[in-house]
Amino acid sequence: MIVISGPSGVGKDTIIERLLKMDPDLRYSISFTTRPKRDYEVNDVHYSFVGKPKFEELIGRGELLESALYNGYYYGTSRTRVEKLQRQGIDVILKIEVRGAEQVRAKRPDGVFIFIAPPSMEELLHRREERGSDTPAVIEERQRLARWEMSHAQYYDYVVTNEDAQVAAEDVMEIIRRERARRRGAQPPE
């Protein structure tokens, strides 16, 4: 189980998309969220979009490996989906925020925790503005949250700076290969 966190706008989706193309033994865990769907997003591909009552039902059933309120919306990872993929021998990528990662670490310390960092906070702001999907007030709030998230990078097993998405994806893939080899008791390939 590979847990990937980092501030909004840092490029987590792009990196994960590239990882999935690099390795057929990786799958993305589709999280539940109460956040509205963006124009380019597809339900049950990017997220499973649900209303707050349904999300609360999932929590009540103990279905979520983690859940968090982030920027006013709930997000959560399906325990059933993750465990099903792992039973099939597939490594699962979870894209979750810092508080959710802490919940997962408490329940599943066997995970590999990777924090994706921006080259600078200025670059992160530029990327958010270029995205064009948020209001200036939302961008400012996300920058404030990003500063807090960056202070938690030290608690991750690895920190990868995303200056170039392809290089960052290759760095994360190398971490995954080394972790697989280490956990199997073999020497990682050179």
Decide if 39 contacts 148 (C-beta within 8 A): no
Whole-model pTM: value is: 0.86
Mean pLDDT of 149-178: 97
Report the mean per-residue pLDDT for the chain: 91
| Segment 76-97, tens digit of pLDDT | 999 999 999 999 989 999 999 8
Is pLDDT at 19 greater than 80 in this prediction?
A: yes
CA atoms of 138 and 18, how far apart (whole Å) = 28
CB count, 10 Å around CB of 130?
Answer: 9
Residue 187: pLDDT band (50, 70, 90) is: low
pLDDT at residue 69 in the model = 85
Q: Cα(18)–Cα(20) distance, rounded to whole angstroms?
A: 5
Q: What is the pLDDT of residues 124-142, one digit of tens each?
A: 888 888 877 778 888 888 8
pLDDT 10s digits, 20-43: 999 999 999 999 999 999 898 999
Does 71 score more than 80 pLDDT?
A: no
- What is the DSSP code (8-state) at residue 163? S
pLDDT digits (tens, 9 = 90+) for 37-67: 989 899 998 899 999 999 999 999 999 999 9
- Taking residues 171-186, report their average pLDDT: 91
Report all structural domains of the chain as residue ranges with CATH numbers, in order of start: 2-183 (3.40.50.300)
